Structure 1
Amino acid sequence: MCGRFFIGQPPEVYRTSYGYPEQPNFPGRFNVAPTQPVPVVLRESGERHLRLMRWGLWPAWLKDPSDFPVLFNARIETAAEKPAFRGPMRHHRCVFLADGFYEWRREGSGKAAVRTPFAVRRADGAPMALAGLWQPWMGADGSEVDTAAIVTCSANGTLSAIHERMPAILAPEAVEAWLDAAVDAPEAARLCRPCPDDWLRLDPVSDRVNSVRNDDAGLPEPAAPARPAAASHRSAPVRGAEVQGELF
């Protein structure tokens, strides 16, 4: 799964990488969560464009989104079959702007479980092209919202150490085919496979990332090694993320 990601490089880096004409000056965001607005790249009339969308896809047939689940991920294995993703998989594919994402390694079970957060980024520091699906939605009152979900696939060898799923990270040469609606859904799905192991770098990070209230450039930075506690001042054991209602 992918429930949090970060976008920290200057806007011009993404514009150069993806080749869209818009020149937004958006600030870095280091703890992006579902339902928030996210920048994505799509293809319209043969050209790439940048759009802001709601992270959490609303199918075109949805009447009332108030009690609809937050569809922030779409499994590539079933996207072409699921009613919510079938249309977007054929006609509305996009790429999420990102530098990396967060994942949590769970150890133990029940109340004794410990979740350790990791920042996952490209080892070469390049933008991470996360495959996505998008869908324009129109309410009964005429309101319009563009919505999107990140596509996931099985984890590669590197990420499998902490989780069995990962976002589908597109190779630079695969981005154009993914965005092109003329490429049929089965062929596009073949682009969404686990990326090579050596593409990724994993760093344990501070558990401050567990709360969406925290959003600063320090979040994706590797956590400093824990200092041994003095014998007479032992620190309490870390129990991982215990923030109720957060996504992992």
Structure 2
Amino acid sequence: MSTLGYIILFGLAMSLIALAGSLTLLLKQEVLDKLLLPMVAFAAGSLIGGALFHMIPTSVDKMGNSVAVYLWLAAGFVTFLALEQFLHWHHSHETQPGAREPLTYLILIADGLHNLIGGMFVGATFLIDVRLGVTAWLAAAAHEVPQEMGDFAILVHGGWSQKGALFFNFLSALTFPLGGILVYAASTTIDVNFLVPFAAGNFLYIGAADLIPEIKKSHDLQTNLIHFVTLLAGMMVLLLLRT
């Protein structure tokens, strides 16, 4: 299969993850509450592991161990801080009711933008190496499952029908393969290697600044231990994928 074929295939597969929100309809609330935060912890570990064990080493291989790699890494980190600070773009994983309807439109727009940028990042990794692309996709997908479940719940509680929430959430997710196609087209005229350390900064920010704070809210020792172990498991999976 061609590189573009992999980008499109995995891009569409990521879009289908938007349908994971329907799981909130099948699971009892108490079961969902027990599963969601461990999934967030695993996603945090996967994102951090993907950045540390795969994307940063690959960036050094392709660009040399130069300051440029770490400048792009820092740029990816602070750019997503700026998006969250000034655009109120926050990856909520809460499933409680109470969201106002105008917020639901902002969530769809923010998710569309997030997926577009994510598709560009993952597409850039496929251009370097298909195995690296699959690894980056897996790390991103681990994050998307709890995010889409939380977003779907917010849309439904904000007044959307279940079918409408699934459909428009899926539409916003289609910007992911679009991002991959755009970066593939751009790669014919510019060097897109810088997107890999930039994406690593994005992964580190979402994992460390967005997700880890959500799993630190509990004061129960057993719950904290579960979250810690699942975070380590996410990192370990990405480390094993390197071998």
TM-score between the two structures when normalised by the length of structure 2: 0.25
Bigger fraction of residues in helix: 2
Rg comparison, structure with higher value? 1
Higher RCO structure (Cα 8 Å, ≥6 apart): 2
Bigger fraction of residues in strand: 1
